[in-house]
Structure 1
């Protein structure tokens, strides 16, 4: 992804009004693992609501060359880089 594209997506994320979306219609929770709830996808990007309950974790992973932005709706998150 070009630097200008990254800046464009960052700008969109910073200015997007997340209060306009009723996430209760999208969210899905599982007690044993986090869930990935895709609510938009096109050829350029996808928007995924990831639902982690307290204490849930992901395996160590990469994004296979893809860029990733995170916006935390509520709670706290810890990210470790390897």
Structure 2
């Protein structure tokens, strides 16, 4: 391979690593910006999901496990919906 091919390969690998690191850090940055009470856990979840091939990334982006429910947001729900909860 020529010098240009090595440079192109290096740029491609570096940009891929940068995009993956940005995607891993994104849920934590959003959580910190919104003053989420579990911002540190969301940040750790972003890095853990990297090891799992981004399988848990939608859960981490929500900022809470699916079983957590609407904690703190019940007052915004209509009474008929609140009675179901």
Pick the TM interval, shorter chain: under 0.3
Bigger fraction of residues in strand: 1
More helix by share: 2
Normalising by structure 1, what TM-score?
0.22
> If you compute each CA radius of gyration, which structure gives the higher value, 1 or 2?
2
